[in-house]
Amino acid sequence: MEFIISILAGILFATAIYNLLQKQLLRIIIGTLLLSHGAHLFILTMGELKRGNPPILTEGVSNYTDPLPQALILTSIVISFGITSLLLVLAYRTATENETDNMEQLRGNDNE
Amino acid sequence: MLYIVLIPLLLACTIPFISKFKHKLHTGIPVLLIPSAIFLYFIRFVGTGFEPVRQSYEWIPSLGINFNFYLDGLSLLFVLLISGIGALVVLYSIYYLGRDERLGHFYVYLLMFMSAMLGVVLSDNIFVLYTFWELTSISSFLLIGYWHFKEKSRYGALKSMLITIFGGLSMFGGFILLSVMTGTSSIQIMIQNSEVIMNSPYMPLALGFILLGAFTKSAQFPFHIWLPDAMEAPTPVSAYLHSATMVKAGLFLVARFSPIFSGYEGFFIIVSIAGIVTLCWGSYMAVHQTDLKAILAFSTISQLGMIMAMLGFGTEAAIFAAVFHILCHATFKGSLFMVAGIVDHETGTRDIRKLGGLMTFMPMSAALALFGTFSMAGIPLPFLNGFYSKELFFKSTLKLPQGAHPVTNFLVEAIPYLAVFGSIFTFVYSLYFLFGTFGGKKQVDKLPKHPHEAPVGMLIAPFVLVLGVILIGLFPNVFNGTFIAHAAEAVAGTTIVKEITFWHGFESTAFQMSLVVVALGAILVSTRRKWSKVYSFIPGRGSINHIYDAIIAKLDNWSTKMTTFYMTGSLRLYMAIILSTIFLVTLGFMLVTDGLTIDYSNLAPVTVTEIAVALVIVAAAIGTIFAKKNLGAILIAGVVGYGVSLLFVIYRAPDLALTQLVVETVSVALFLLCFYHLPNLDNTKDPAGTRLTNGIISIGFGTLMTLIGISAHSSDWFGTISDYFLETSHSLGGGDNVVNVILVDMRGLDTLFEIAVLGIAALAIYSIIKLKMNKGAK
């Protein structure tokens, strides 16, 4: 199963990057969203899947799944939520200020 | 000694405050105390019974980088020059630089240089030495560019830095080789283990690298081109850095390492050739210059070449002469630079074609210049130190070591003639400098200012140096026994007892050589106008400067082209380049190191539910690409998120599943909120080529991540650290939900910062929405 999840993560990465390379801001944000999903599954496979109980200590149980990737992913979910919302607002503001959300038109000028 | 080395640097921090009062108190006056104090500290070491002093302070002991200071005769000679000439130069600068100059900057740079130079000559640790070495290059850059509004100053500063730092880096390479060979970073221990170095196959490489550093720093042919341009610096700087101290760092380096390499014939060949060619070329070119400081610059180049050549000879007599000449050169050349500065200051020009006949206006300066130039020319008079060192030089060229290599034997024959050739031109430019400025016809009308004698304070410093010229000339053996001999001993490794005598009789070949120099030199001086056409043939129009300029222009051109090639302003292109690079490098590395492993043994069983969820996720993820409407794309992306949270449930991560569900819901809501404000999806597609490239990049990257995931799972390099958390969660954290304990307790600080990040993001979102960019904003 780990391999399948690895492949799933790979597909998520691939679609995420294809979206990132698009010219529309909304697609790029969706790309980052998919990227974080891919990364989460990727981290999850680093531990072993489905070995033991959820990592909540209970009397008489000694076999738990790896809690560390879960802690990392939890942090990541929250941070990527922050990033997504910031990006969304930034995109909204950029699009209204510049009257376009096309990356090809949103270039710096030559004097930069 | 650590404090002595760092004092100038530390006190430099106070200069910006002191310089606020520069109109009441010239910043140079308090600064003058620093080199004077250092000079007094070190002068007490001078004496016949001098023994090397060692002191160590730990800095980075794990890497063998420590402040190991080692004061031997050679270092003592240099620290006295650095502090002594430093004090005189500061004194001189008080009169040279007006109060409306940026004095604070000047003295900070100067003190920085002083610290750095003291560090170079006192460090026994090669890495510390290198650090200080580069610091001298940087402070020299700053000082040359002191008048930064002048185009030429900036050009000269950049040139000197590029050339000396290029050499410095190469020297660093040599140092690393040496420390790898010997397993130490101490120069003294390396000298003791010199056999290890001599037997190493990398020895010629290390030698070449180190010599490159020394040659660039000491302006040896063909790297000498930076020194004439460095003359754009204020004259006190030229006198200090570019004649007395910094340019001698290269000589110091060669002298320091010569106990290791002196047995190697290549050392003799390379160093002697570099030195003797520099001597001849520098003195030949000096006669061609019209700027007073340019004459002195080429003269410095040629004198440095002469000392370098003597260090290359490696005989006891030559080393002794080299060390002696380092001292003599500092005295007479320092005074001449100061006189040139005075002439510039009082007449407004340094162009020798406009000067002339200044003797009547500036008798004191003329007298000082007379002693300086005669000493430099090596005129046989018993009170000029330059004659003694010139004589010792001639003598050393006559007794060169025989070698096995034919080049060595050729050099042994040729060097005495080349030495005489170089010395003849030395004689010519010395007198050209003197008579061109102070002798000849008066042309007061051509001068920007009416000339008059400099203020007394300005004359003190060159006067003290000329006094040094005369005293060393009159009593050479007083200086000899007390510290020249110690310095020579430090270089040669054996005790050298030498008497310096003035008169060797007419039969002495060295004296005959001196006479030839004086006679031919006098003829050439008087007929200079007739033969000066020779300069249109050699060097003619092509010169090393052209090569330098061409290289710099090419580099400029190439890098501009390179940069504009990929810096197009298109973020998509940057993204594509970055991702492809990650892909190629990581995949390449994986294949090269054989990192790709697949192990089927330890896998969880596959169930239908998981497969179904995975398929839904895949379908949704691909769907985001083909969605035609904003709304559709957002909702499909939401499906991916919910699918992932389902997977979290299956994989026994209840906290993750809950969080993901909440976050996904809020995210989708946010997307939908913004959806009204964002323009509709543009359905014009990219050209097929672009889409294909993007597709290849994304599929490649996805494959790479899959491979990494599988390999990471299949290989077991490190044991898991999770057991610790499982064991201690209850006892240390007081909680049973291990994931929560890790987040809020074990890694509590991380979580705190995470909250801070979210807070900042919230603030940013709020202000982006509220911010009125301009009146037209909605």
- How many whole angstroms separate alpha carbon B195 and alpha carbon B146? 46
Which of 146-205 (B) contact A at CB < 8 A? none
Q: State which H helix or E strand residue B58 sits in.
A: strand B53-60
- What percent of chain B stands above pLDDT 70? 97
- Region at B64 (left for phi over 0; alpha for psi -120 to 50; beta for the rest): left
In a domain, A109, yes or no: no
Token output for B384: 């000029």
Interchain proximity A12–B743, CB inside 8 Å: no
The answer, yes or no, to whether residue B774 has pLDDT greater than 60, is no
User: Which residue, among A57, A99, A102, would best test binding to B if mutated, counting the most B CBs under 10 Å from its CB?
Assistant: A57
Interchain proximity B670–A100, CB inside 8 Å: no
Task: Pick A84 or B541 by higher pLDDT.
Answer: A84
Q: Would you call B712 an interface residue with chain A, using a CB distance cutoff of 8 Å?
A: yes
Between helix B203-217 and helix B151-182 the angle, nearest 10°, is 160
CATH for A20: 1.10.287
| Distance between B585 CA and the closest CA of chain A, angstroms | 18
- What percent of chain B stands above pLDDT 90? 42
- How many whole angstroms separate alpha carbon B431 and alpha carbon B427? 6
In a domain, A84, yes or no: yes
The answer, yes or no, to whether residue B675 has pLDDT greater than 80, is no
pLDDT in tens, B319-349: 999 999 999 999 999 999 999 999 988 888 8
pLDDT in tens, B610-626: 899 999 999 999 998 88
8 Å CB contact between B122 and B71: yes
Q: How many residues does chain A have?
A: 112
pLDDT mean over B753-775 = 84
Q: State which H helix or E strand residue B69 sits in.
A: strand B65-71
- Band of pLDDT at residue B138, cut at 50, 70 and 90: very high
- How many whole angstroms separate alpha carbon B326 and alpha carbon B173? 27
Q: Would you call B239 an interface residue with chain A, using a CB distance cutoff of 8 Å?
A: no
Q: State which H helix or E strand residue B70 sits in.
A: strand B65-71
Partner-chain residue, chosen from A17, A45, A67, that has the shortest CB–CB distance to B738: A67
Say what the pTM is. Answer: 0.77
pLDDT at B624: 87
Q: Would you call B684 an interface residue with chain A, using a CB distance cutoff of 8 Å?
A: no
How confident is the prediction along chain A (112 residues), in pLDDT tens digits per residue?
888 899 999 999 999 999 888 888 888 888 999 999 999 999 988 877 777 788 888 888 878 888 888 999 999 999 999 998 898 888 888 887 777 777 777 766 554 4
Q: Would you call B665 an interface residue with chain A, using a CB distance cutoff of 8 Å?
A: no
- How many whole angstroms separate alpha carbon B4 and alpha carbon B35? 10
Task: Pick A50 or B450 by higher pLDDT.
Answer: B450
> Which residue's entry shows tokens 């004459």?
B295
In a domain, A79, yes or no: yes
The answer, yes or no, to whether residue B378 has pLDDT greater than 60, is yes
Of A78, A17, A85, A77, nearest in space to A41 by CA: A77
Q: Which residue range is the domain that position A18 belongs to? A: 2-50+64-98
Token output for B97: 């630089």
Terminal CA-CA length for chain A: 50
- Band of pLDDT at residue B418, cut at 50, 70 and 90: very high
In a domain, A58, yes or no: no
Which of 600-659 (B) contact A at CB < 8 A? 602-607, 610-611, 614, 617-618, 621-622, 624-625, 630, 633-634, 637, 640-641, 644, 647-648, 650-656, 659
| Distance between B256 CA and the closest CA of chain A, angstroms | 49
8 Å CB contact between B46 and B76: yes
- How many whole angstroms separate alpha carbon B249 and alpha carbon B218? 7
In a domain, A104, yes or no: no
| Distance between A37 CA and the closest CA of chain B, angstroms | 7
User: Does residue B222 have a cis bond before it (omega within 30 degrees)?
Assistant: yes
User: Which residue, among A34, A58, A106, would best test binding to B if mutated, counting the most B CBs under 10 Å from its CB?
Assistant: A34
Q: Would you call B749 an interface residue with chain A, using a CB distance cutoff of 8 Å?
A: no
The answer, yes or no, to whether residue B542 has pLDDT greater than 70, is no
Q: What angle (nearest 5°) sits at the alpha carbon of residue B217, between those of residues B215 and B220? A: 40
pLDDT at B777: 47
Terminal CA-CA length for chain B: 68
In a domain, A112, yes or no: no
Interchain proximity A5–B647, CB inside 8 Å: yes
User: Which residue, among A88, A101, A102, A107, would best test binding to B if mutated, counting the most B CBs under 10 Å from its CB?
Assistant: A88
Q: How many residues does chain B have?
A: 778
- How many whole angstroms separate alpha carbon B579 and alpha carbon B615? 26
> Which residue's entry shows tokens 């900036």?
B154
pLDDT at A109: 57
Interchain proximity A44–B651, CB inside 8 Å: yes
pLDDT at B167: 94
Total domain count, chain A: 1
Give counts: helices (H), strands (E), chain A: 3, 0
In a domain, A56, yes or no: no
Sign of CA pseudo-dihedral B212, B218, B224, B229 = positive
Q: State which H helix or E strand residue A18 sits in.
A: helix A2-20
- How many whole angstroms separate alpha carbon B442 and alpha carbon B440? 7
Q: What is the mean pLDDT of chain B?
A: 88
pLDDT at B778: 43
- How many whole angstroms separate alpha carbon B135 and alpha carbon B107? 15
In a domain, A69, yes or no: yes
Cβ-based burial of B266 (10 A; exposed 0-12, middle 13-18, buried ≥19): middle
8 Å CB contact between B247 and B300: yes
pLDDT in tens, B476-532: 888 887 788 888 888 888 777 777 777 777 778 888 888 888 899 898 888 888 888
- Band of pLDDT at residue B178, cut at 50, 70 and 90: very high
pLDDT at B690: 84
In the three-class reduction of DSSP (H, G, I as helix; E, B as strand; rest coil), residue B501 is classed as coil
User: Which residue, among A77, A83, A100, A110, would best test binding to B if mutated, counting the most B CBs under 10 Å from its CB?
Assistant: A77
Interchain proximity B670–A88, CB inside 8 Å: yes
pLDDT at B640: 92
pLDDT in tens, B683-711: 566 788 888 888 999 999 999 999 988 88
Interchain proximity A15–B624, CB inside 8 Å: yes
